[in-house]
Amino acid sequence: MSEELAIETGPMVIDHNELSSALRSHIAKPEFPCVGAKSALATDRLGILPAWRLNSGWNDVEIHDRLLDWSWKYKSDPSGLRSLAVMFEGPTDLTEEEFETAMWKRLQSLADKDSWRGQKYCDKVSSDPADPHFSLSFGGQGYFVVGLHPNASRTARRVKYPTLVFNLHDQFAKLRFDQRYEKMRKAILKRDIALDGSVNPMLSRHGESSEALQYSGRKVGTEWQCPFFDPRGS
């Protein structure tokens, strides 16, 4: 009998409970630095969507559907801090560079779908990843993305499964307006130093440099160029 080649036709069964538990446990750790994520977890405003593989487009339509719903629900009720985490079952062996490449391919695919479905780009942010005011946009809302994965160099970003956390840009603007942003930022930086002995060198305030530099968590130099182009233009 000849040996048959295995053909990848679709995802295996995704264990939602396993993925969700891994992220919730990570955020709940006392030393975890992001107080915003802790607030979302404590108030049951942390949405978790299981997906197959970060380097596959299998769940892209489903992810985009959820982002649209997330944006519209926020518009009708903007209270509280919230985050939407898309957790992928794999691959779990990606290097930082490989994770970054796969992450931007997913984000590009999602942006293309947002454009194709007639969604306007958020008018509070720029679609140019080189612009200091850049943010992604889904369903008319601006988003800041935090990438997490098993081989991240920063402890806070090191989780069991590849994860993309979508945070609403409008929430950060409201924190600044309420004069709570700097206090929260200082708390995060203090916790980050306690974890790794230094502040994440890629961190910056919105408007100082492009937030695209921060998404993957990988340390990059001034020569780095973001592999993203939104079809709707700036």
- Phi and psi dihedrals of 111, rounded to 5? -65, -40
DSSP of 6-71: P---S-----HHHHHHHHHHHHHSTT---HHHHHHHHTT-EEEEEEEETT--TTHHHHHHHHHHHH
Element (H, E) at 96: helix 96-116
| pLDDT in the model for residue 100 | 98
| pLDDT in the model for residue 174 | 75
Per domain, the residue ranges of the chain are 16-214
pLDDT per residue, tens digit, the chain (234 aa), is 333 333 344 555 578 899 999 999 999 998 888 888 888 999 999 999 999 999 999 999 999 999 999 999 999 999 888 999 999 999 999 999 999 999 999 999 999 999 999 999 999 999 999 999 999 999 999 999 999 999 999 999 999 999 999 999 998 777 666 666 677 677 777 777 888 888 776 666 656 789 999 999 999 988 999 999 999 875
- Cα 201 to Cα 38, 74, 140, 196, 214, distances in angstroms: 22, 31, 30, 11, 9
In this structure, the strands spanning 163-168 and 46-53 are unpaired
| pLDDT in the model for residue 4 | 39
Closest to 119 (Cα-Cα) out of 4, 229, 230, 8? 230
CA 214, distance to chain mean position in Å, is 10
What distance separates the 2 farthest-apart alpha carbons in the chain? 71
Cα 72 to Cα 31: distance, rounded to the nearest angstrom = 33
Helix (H, G, I), strand (E, B) or coil at 216: coil
- Phi and psi dihedrals of 109, rounded to 5? -60, -40
| pLDDT in the model for residue 233 | 75
In this structure, the strands spanning 83-90 and 163-168 are antiparallel
Cα 196 to Cα 125: distance, rounded to the nearest angstrom = 31
| pLDDT in the model for residue 6 | 36
* pTM, to two decimals: 0.89
| pLDDT in the model for residue 15 | 82
Angle (nearest 5°) at CA 43 between 73 and 151: 90
Cα 159 to Cα 12: distance, rounded to the nearest angstrom = 21
